[in-house]
Structure 1
Amino acid sequence: MTSTIVHSLVHIDGSFCEGGGQILRNAVALSALLSKPISIPNARHNRRPPGLRKQHEAGINLAATICSAETEGVHLASTSVTFKPGKIELPKTLTADPGTAGSTTLLLQVSLPCLLFSSSPTSPSQLTLCGGTNASQAPQIDYTQHVFLPFMKRHFGVDIALKIMRRGYFPKGGGAVFCSVPSLTRALPPVTLTERGPVRLVRGEARVGGLPFILAERMKNAARATLLAGGVSPTAIRINAVRESQEEAFGSGGGILLLAETDNGCVIGGSSVSTKSKAPEEIGNEAAEELLRNLRHGGCVDGYLQDQIIIFIALAKGRSTVKTGPLTDHTRTAIKIAEQMTGATFHLEENPSGFVIISCDGIGYTPSL
């Protein structure tokens, strides 16, 4: 007689902490990897309006396709989702398109963990993500390209190729990003990152599409002035202004990303996205001020990267230790979901001066045959 292990539903409160889309993304990704069915009531409870938007629907459906999942409640405005994963068989060639300016980077967040592990060697999966590339309420695609993916390569040995085919700005979207995701047959190594080292360079790009080049110049100049006022050496600042061609961008918009590189290989970001209600100078100032805040606390990762690495250190084999700035609600949410889904244990050492040491004993995940 043979027996089959049947996992009971794991119930995850969608109103916990930040109560937004990150709960959906992290829980669904871990559900697919670990073959644990989940139910999420109160989905996006703390957002107005609550419930799924088109980008969440597209992201969950993308993960469902990767792992042949059965789903319930995956539709616009739904406040309750059930996700019952099947087997992940790689490689995959997939396209996801919410039909809106929904963030391509958030689509990558839900799908990447699902594509990262294989029980036997295989060629990379190919992923085309459509929608918004530079929007508020999500990391810009430039951040993913220049901060998150280099972190994955440096610390986990995962070399994910990303190409921006076309930028899509809010509210039209219309962007397209291509990713090639290799899969691993081994567990991820732990991360030890506690010494940032001095800043040696602040580089960046202020960019516009469908708008006059002078607006990018004004963003750049404002950011530079704020960095100088914040004590950054003028010889360390290298910011370019860029105007995209009509073929390179859909719609009109812009933004700025600043990156501080340190002697120890850390990359700290600061960014802002253009809106009609804000002058270019305000956008440049916001990005520079965010970067300066991220530098002051002495952490090795910034606020955006802080929450994105939680899934991966929970899955890694051994103890990871990362020094960061004050914890965001997104990070507290990510830790809660990771502990509930994986059984990894986290320890937080919050220092009165502002920095936090995140330690995690990961589970050493490898896919079953």
Structure 2
Amino acid sequence: MIEIDGSHGEGGGQILRTAVSLSAVTMEPVRVVNIRAGRPTPGLKNQHVAGIEVTGRLVNANINGLQVGSTTIEFLPGERRGGRISYDIGTAGAISLVLQAVLLPAILAPSPSYIEIHGGTDVLWSPPVDYIKHIFDFMLQKMGPKIEINLHRRGHYPRGGGRVSCSVEPVDKVHSIDFVEFGELNRVRGISHCVKLPAHVAHRQADAAESYLRDKGLEDIDIERKYWPKEEDPHLGAGSGIVIWAESDRNLRMGGDSLGKKGKPAEKVGREAARQLSDELSTGHAVDSHLCDMLVPYMAVAEGESSIGVTEVTSHLETNIWVVEKMLDIETKLEGKHGQPGKLTLKGTGISPSN
């Protein structure tokens, strides 16, 4: 059984998600110890339990230590399978982080999967579901996977109540990628939303983002405003946020996002997302600082050599590289200093459901 030290590097839930996800792909048991050891409240939280349990259902796994607060788990895969899975995190735990754990084994399953998760769609310390749908999924599909993500209801902290469904058509192989340079900017698109709040919040977020980007010389900008009349709003609690993305002539995307909170002006929310996107674009590299670590497990199981130019070498990227090296015994080459733009190259294992 492979043992992974959950306190290594960034030391958060990402190590756990990647280790369990790759275990479900390789069918090799894994033990993860010291889970989130450096966090104020170490061990598993509800969203980590959800990610492990849903992933386990895809491979009929036996799982030891699966409870909130546990700092050690053992994940023993049984057999690959697809099917319908529904799971309620029970809190505003991040749906996007659950999807990060389950999507890789789902795309290499022997049959299609339909996964429905209830929880938080727009919460701190995790990618918004709009980012997962419009940036992560868009870029991932260039590696072959066929994924459809649908956002049915938003869920903000603390009440949650969001609902997201995901349909996955499995593939026999994940293709390698060569995303080093972003190319020429074609356009900027985005979604600014608010729930249980006046419509002007969504408008002000979007207006501020557009104004910032136009001041930087960007022209083709279209940010959708989403809001609900008070009497028709189905959400449980108030919240707002914005996700914007740039599209290049090479048909690549990178993004920026920001969440609203009580006392934070909507204009600041919009400017934060726009500044983030502008900073990412200024490097000329193809893969933004949030997406780069998410792509690493897919590159690691792809057939052939993959290369990505990253806008920033982050601790999450460095940690995920370490995990795939431990789990798959592969070699990687990361060029660039921490906090600076860089380039990652690795040769994948070419895993397929028939292996």
TM-score range, shorter chain: over 0.9
Q: Distance in 2 between matches of 1:277 and 1:37?
A: 47
Structure 2: stretches of 5+ with no match in the other structure = none
Partner of 2:128: 140
In structure 2, the CA distance between the partners of 1:247 and 1:88, relative to structure 1 (3 Å rule), is: farther
Partner of 1:295: 281
Displacement after TM superposition at 1:232 (Å)? 2.7
Q: Distance in 1 between matches of 2:228 and 2:36?
A: 35
1:158 counterpart = 2:125:
no
Partner of 1:4: none
Displacement after TM superposition at 1:46 (Å)? 2.2
Q: Distance in 1 between matches of 2:135 and 2:289?
A: 12
Displacement after TM superposition at 1:244 (Å)? 3.0
Displacement after TM superposition at 1:97 (Å)? 1.4
Displacement after TM superposition at 1:257 (Å)? 0.7
Displacement after TM superposition at 1:135 (Å)? 1.2
Q: Distance in 2 between matches of 1:163 and 1:240?
A: 17
SS class of match (1:309):
helix
Are the counterparts in 2 of residues 191 and 322 from structure 1 also a CA contact under 8 Å? yes
1:273 counterpart = 2:259:
yes
Displacement after TM superposition at 1:225 (Å)? 2.2
Offset from partner CA, 1:2-32 (integer Å, 9 cap, x none)? xxxxxxx211111011101101100001111
Structure 2 counterpart of 1:244, from 221, 225, 228: 228
Residues 1-369 of structure 1: matches in 2 within 5 Å? 9-89=1-81, 91-118=82-109, 122=111, 124-153=112-141, 155-184=142-171, 186-229=172-215, 231-233=216-218, 235-245=219-229, 246-350=232-336, 354-368=340-354
Structural RMSD (CA): 1.7
Q: Which amino acid aligns with 1:79?
A: T
Are the counterparts in 2 of residues 207 and 244 from structure 1 also a CA contact under 8 Å? no
Q: Distance in 2 between matches of 1:257 and 1:352?
A: 25
Partner of 1:6: none
Are the counterparts in 2 of residues 93 and 127 from structure 1 also a CA contact under 8 Å? yes
Q: Which amino acid aligns with 1:113?
A: L
Are the counterparts in 1 of residues 154 and 161 from structure 2 also a CA contact under 8 Å? yes
Displacement after TM superposition at 1:314 (Å)? 0.3
In structure 2, the CA distance between the partners of 1:268 and 1:232, relative to structure 1 (3 Å rule), is: farther
SS class of match (1:135):
coil
SS class of match (2:20):
helix
Offset from partner CA, 1:275-308 (integer Å, 9 cap, x none)? 1131111111111111011111111011111011
Are the counterparts in 1 of residues 313 and 339 from structure 2 also a CA contact under 8 Å? no
Q: Distance in 2 between matches of 1:50 and 1:352?
A: 26
Q: Which amino acid aligns with 1:304?
A: H
Are the counterparts in 2 of residues 189 and 316 from structure 1 also a CA contact under 8 Å? yes
Q: Distance in 2 between matches of 1:351 and 1:71?
A: 38
Q: Distance in 2 between matches of 1:288 and 1:74?
A: 39
In structure 2, the CA distance between the partners of 1:109 and 1:264, relative to structure 1 (3 Å rule), is: same
What TM-score, normalized to structure 2?
0.95
Displacement after TM superposition at 1:198 (Å)? 1.3
